[in-house]
């Protein structure tokens, strides 16, 4: 982030003295367009494969993050929801490997900046809450942000696969999409049924 800002500043300074010179070292052009890397996707298929690698990394990261969340949760209902989703997530990783193989690509992970950030946010919510219903409410909030990110991702991947005529991949991606939606619903139910109510009660007791 700091480097990008520095580059932009440097570019501005440079463009003042040599405005016609092309700025090949900068990420952003003077008109605000982000410049493509030499390795940039050449078509939708490459973007699809890159996006698969991104969510493959994200799902793997979740298999490490979910047990931490379960250890920090107090409600049995929530612990069960998280542990069940861990098992589901492991199945989703295997399913992604099938998608890679169906489209003739090697399964590979590419760091997902968004999921890294969402997991970090979950960790800070835990640091900022005491163990109990309030931390549970925070864990649900963080988990739902994660599920919504996955819902958006698998919806997009299924649409890309449809456009590319990868019909078998579409079925697998839609299966995962429905699992992510189910997880989100279970978390909402956990929040409404017990946790947010208890969290509120605890606040009232403190007043
Ligand atoms: Fe998932
Ligand atoms: Fe992503
Ligand atoms: Zn990502
Ligand atoms: Fe999920």
- Is residue 169 within 8 Å of 99, Cβ to Cβ? yes
Ligand 2 centre to CA of 59 (Å) is: 10
Ligand 2 centre to CA of 58 (Å) is: 7
Ligand 1 centre to CA of 19 (Å) is: 47
Ligand nearest to the CA of 175: 1
- Is residue 52 within 8 Å of 99, Cβ to Cβ? yes
Q: Is the dihedral of CA 156, 182, 199, 120 positive or negative?
A: negative
Please tell me the distance from the alpha carbon of residue 195 to that of residue 138, in angstroms, as a whole number: 10
Please tell me the distance from the alpha carbon of residue 150 to that of residue 185, in angstroms, as a whole number: 14
pTM as predicted: 0.81
Residue 21 parent element (H or E): none
pLDDT per position as a tens digit, 54-82: 999 999 999 999 999 999 999 998 999 99
pLDDT computed for residue 130 by the predictor: 96
Q: What is the DSSP-derived secondary structure letter of residue 50?
A: H
Please tell me the distance from the alpha carbon of residue 55 to that of residue 165, in angstroms, as a whole number: 20
Domain boundaries, the chain: 46-206
CATH fourth-level superfamily of 46-206: Ferritin, core subunit, four-helix bundle (1.20.1260.10)
Ligand 2 centre to CA of 61 (Å) is: 12
pLDDT per position as a tens digit, 150-199: 999 999 999 999 999 999 999 999 999 999 999 999 998 887 776 666 66
Ligand 2 centre to CA of 54 (Å) is: 5
């Amino acid at each position: 982030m700091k480097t990008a800002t520095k580059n932009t500043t440097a570019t501005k300074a440079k463009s003042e003295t040599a405005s016609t010179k092309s700025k090949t070292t900068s990420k952003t052009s003077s008109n605000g367009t982000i410049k493509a890397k030499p390795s940039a996707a050449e078509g939708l298929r490459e973007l699809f494969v890159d996006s698969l690698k991104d969510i493959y990394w994200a799902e793997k990261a979740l298999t490490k993050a979910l047990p931490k969340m379960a250890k920090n949760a107090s409600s049995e209902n929530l612990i069960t929801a998280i542990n069940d989703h861990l098992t589901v997530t492991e199945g989703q990783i295997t399913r992604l490997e099938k998608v890679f193989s169906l489209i003739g690509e090697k399964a590979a992970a590419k760091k997902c900046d968004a999921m890294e950030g969402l997991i970090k946010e979950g960790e800070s919510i835990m640091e900022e809450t005491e163990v109990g219903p309030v931390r549970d409410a925070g864990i649900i909030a963080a988990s739902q942000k994660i599920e919504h990110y996955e819902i958006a991702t698998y919806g997009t991947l299924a649409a890309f696969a449809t456009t590319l005529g990868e019909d078998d991949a579409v079925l697998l991606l839609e299966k995962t999409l429905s699992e992510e939606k189910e997880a989100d619903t279970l978390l909402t139910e956990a929040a409404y049924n017990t946790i947010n109510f208890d969290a509120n009660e605890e606040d009232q007791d403190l007043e």
